[in-house]
Amino acid sequence: MILRTHYSGDIHPELDGQEVTLAGWAHEIRDLGGICFLVLRDREGLAQVTMVAKRTEKPLLESVRQLSRESVIRVVGSVKAEPKAPRGYEIIPISLEVLGRADSPLPLDPTGKVDAELDTRLDSRFMDIRRPGSLAVFRIESAVLQSLRQTFYDHGFLEVITPKIVATATEGGTALFPISYFEREAFLNQSPQLYKQMLMSAGMDRVFEIGPIFRAEEHDTRRHLNEAISVDMEMSFADHNDVMDVLERAMVEAYRFVQENCKRDLDVLHLDLVVPKTPFRKVTYSEALDLAKEAGKPTMEWGDDIDTETERALGSIIGEHYFLTDWPSSIKPYYSQPYEDRPDVSKAFDLMHPSMELASGAQRVHDPEQLVSRIKDQGLDPDGFEFYLKAFRYGMPPHAGWGLGLGRVVTTMLGLENIRDAVIFPRDRRRLVP
């Protein structure tokens, strides 16, 4: 049996006289002697429960007075239209039941009135998410996921789930987390790249996956975690420009969806969300280098990976979402397709927010011989990729795809300080608990 008839947010003054049952947390108790207010909080907001001492049964009043803050309660009462109450109504209680008592003192102030350090908040994340500002972020994240999935479905994609325990690295360079797997060593997957490509050979045509990726890098930045959620897609009979179109569409739709469906959460965060303008500007790697030089950041040579400082400089010059295209082949993974007429440049791109990279993608190499030689060029051993290469030898269509970091989308959309604010239980070098 569901223990409530309404969320606080479902109640309005027109329900005057109706009996309702609310369930949630004792957010605030204000006992003024003659009158006592209990504010009940549930996921959808707050409801004021009002008791005039003279008109309330003693045991009921006593149980409210003894209630500890943040205890879980269930209140049966009648709605009374009351213009002076928040949202124009109050609840006159008939009964109150304590379903879960809260100890005190509380590890955090759940009203959000007292600021706490990020680490303190993460240590008691369950309590932190009772704060309206934290909950709003994760409600918006849920909306972003819903919208991204919808965009994929609208474009005819199938949702897939690929293994997270794997035998080999996706690519060289990025550190892996080794795990013991019976009598062998295995790793946590750093990306679904090889699997989603194999599904192109399988004829699944358009697939997406939303799942964890693991990177054993020791970075300590505001945009990296050791476990991140990647929104990945791969699309057959399509090139890098086609998948950039889908990415642009997915981003813009996510902003629109949040704007339409998360008004209350955006209000809580004091945000006026602006949908990015389309089409996103396309800046080639070479143009980016020139722009950086003009901005007085002449430190990079053609062929260097774009460093954080240059990324920032570009972001402040361009000032909106943009695609960084036509990367040197040497710094993009072996599976990126070089241009036929200039093999030192690849059909690879990143989607950039002015403050950080959001996604990387490319048209892929689909010719098995070319793929083997690209693997060798990058100093890797093709033998380790046999299970993957096999899928290329028996009819692999041309294809392209990208991987987008969910945490970074939410961080940049909401202007958060740190990706840890956009991940419920973040994993970094120092944090494995909770």
Q: Which is nearer to ligand ATP, 134 or 360 (CB)?
A: 360
> Least distance in Å: CB of 198 to Mg ion?
21
Question: Among 75, 200, 210, 359, which residue sits at the site for ligand ATP (rule: CB under 6 A)?
Answer: 359
∠ at Cα 397 (393, 398), nearest 5°? 115
Interface with Mg ion (CB under 5 A), residue from 134, 189, 360, 411: 360
Contact with ligand ATP (CB under 6 A) among 48, 230, 236, 325:
230
Q: Which of the stretches 68-76, 299-307, 358-366, 417-425 binds Mg ion when contact is defined by CB under 5 A?
A: 358-366
**Nearest residue (CB) to ligand ATP, 45 versus 403:** 403
Among 41, 196, 215, 347, binds ligand ATP (CB under 6 A): 215
**Contact call for residues 189 and 209 (beta carbons, < 8 A):** no
Comparison of 191 and 201: residue with beta carbon closer to ligand ATP: 191
Stretch that binds ligand ATP, among 119-127, 180-188, 313-321, 351-359 (CB under 6 A): 351-359
Dihedral angle of Cα 396, 402, 407, 408, to the nearest 10 degrees: 160
CB of 408 to ligand ATP, least distance (A): 4
Asked if residue 408 binds ligand ATP (CB under 6 A), the reply is yes
Minimal distance in Å, beta carbon 225 to ligand ATP? 4
Contact 165, 181 (CB under 8 A): yes
> Considering the rule CB under 6 A, would residue 358 count as an interface residue with ligand ATP?
yes
Report what 215 binds from ligand ATP, Mg ion, none; CB cut-off 5-8 Å by kind. ligand ATP
Q: How far is CA 116 from CA 111, 112, 141, in A?
A: 11, 9, 22
Q: Pick the stretch among 86-94, 123-131, 155-163, 404-412 that binds ligand ATP (CB under 6 A).
A: 404-412
134 is an interface residue for Mg ion by CB under 5 A? no
Of 193-201, 352-360, 391-399, 413-421, the segment contacting Mg ion by CB under 5 A is 352-360
Q: Which of 405, 414, 421, 422 binds ligand ATP (CB under 6 A)?
A: 405
- Indicate whether 225 belongs to the interface with ligand ATP (CB under 6 A): yes
- Is 228 near ligand ATP (CB under 6 A)? yes
- Counting every residue written for the chain, the total comes to 434
Which residues of this protein are in contact with Mg ion, per CB under 5 A?
Answer: 360
Which residues of this protein are in contact with ligand ATP, per CB under 6 A?
Answer: 191, 215, 224-225, 228, 230, 357-360, 403-405, 407-408, 419
